[in-house]
Amino acid sequence: MKKLPNDFELKRYGLHVRLVREEDAEFIIRLRTNERNARYIHATSANIADQIEWIKNYKSREERGEDYYFIFYYKGAPVGLIRIYDIDYEKKSVTAGSWVCEPDLPMQVPILILILCREIMFDEIGAELDHFDVRKGNKHVQRVHKMMGAEIVSEDEENYYFELSKNDFLVKKGDVLELLNV
């Protein structure tokens, strides 16, 4: 596995993705505190100074290759966020999470964001396994992950815990892209 460069960016599927910067703080807060989005994610402070401080701390983790936070653009506008964290270079495993998008995007855009994130984790970073959780009430997101080959490996009162191998993702990715007409 390898670290991403500080200037990492990628354009694919009509999306542009890059690493988050301090100037993204306002967009991050707006997206993460949106009532519809906030139902299934951890609470976020609405204070921009707090978010900027979080980004500064994150940038240190990014520099060490421990955590990557991405912002996605569609048609030139920021539309989504996702993180890759819990990076274990020895086990070649990561967690993709904090996936949140503008509420009224065309259906395929959030799914393409997730596909592109997984291409980054598997192809660019070199991970072999994505392990993540989804709130039990978030049935739509559960279906999307299952459609991509993820399987529930355990659960608790609040969450299902999933795993998705690189191989299973590669097997299903083409079907999902075809379904999305990409």
pLDDT in tens, 20-41: 999 999 999 888 776 665 555 6
Within the chain, strands assigned E span 9-12, 15-19, 68-74, 77-88, 93-101, 129-135, 151-155, 159-165
**What is the pLDDT at residue 112?**
96
**What is the pLDDT at residue 42?**
63
Amino acid letter, 46: A
Q: Which domains does the chain have, with CATH numbers?
A: 9-177 (3.40.630.30)
Give pTM, 2 decimals.
Answer: 0.91
Distance CA 23, CA 105 (A): 23
Give the pLDDT mean for 36-48: 65
Beta bridge partners of 134: 160
- Examine the pLDDT at 44 and tell me if it is beyond 80: no
**What is the pLDDT at residue 181?**
87
**What is the pLDDT at residue 71?**
97
Residue 76, sorted as left (phi over 0), alpha (psi -120 to 50) or beta, turns out to be: left
Asked if 55 and 83 touch (Cβ cutoff 8 Å), the reply is no
Contacts of residue 106, Cβ cutoff 8 Å, sequence gap at least 6: none
**What is the pLDDT at residue 41?**
61
3-class SS letters over 59-105: HHHHHCCCCEEEEEEECCEEEEEEEEEEEECCCCEEEEEEEEECCCC
Distance CA 176, CA 182 (A): 9
Pairing of the two strands 9-12 and 129-135: unpaired
**What is the pLDDT at residue 151?**
97
Distance CA 63, CA 59 (A): 6
pLDDT in tens, 58-98: 999 999 999 999 999 999 999 999 999 999 999 999 999 88
Give the pLDDT mean for 130-139: 92
Q: What are phi and psi of 82, to 5 degrees?
A: -160, 150
